[in-house]
Amino acid sequence: MVSLKLQKRLAASAPKCGRGKVWLDPNEVNEISMADFHQNTRKLVKDGFIIRKPTKIHSRSRAPWMK
């Protein structure tokens, strides 16, 4: 499998999030591996090959007891 470290870093800067929040479409690895500039990664975000994962919401149900 191709290393997508550079693409993941570039993709994280487009939607302004961390590398862990970025999802790269495993079916489009060849297309994503060709993107080596910010402009190319922005196009992939627009096309839906790179997606920002939703934030995880932590339950506050135990908060009153954790003082």
Instruction: Note the pLDDT of residue 67.
Output: 64
Neighbours of 22 (CB within 10 A): 23
CATH number of the domain to which 9 belongs: 1.10.1650.10
Q: What is the pTM of this model?
A: 0.75
Using a 10 angstrom Cβ sphere, with 0-12 exposed, 13-18 middle and 19 or more buried, the burial of residue 1 is exposed
Supply the range of the domain harboring residue 31.
5-54
Report yes or no on 32 lying in a domain: yes
Report yes or no on 12 lying in a domain: yes
Report yes or no on 59 lying in a domain: no
Cβ–Cβ under 8 Å, residues 13 and 45: no
Report yes or no on 61 lying in a domain: no
7-56 pLDDT, tens digit each: 999 999 888 899 999 999 999 999 999 998 999 999 999 999 999 999 98
As for how many domains the chain has, the answer is 1
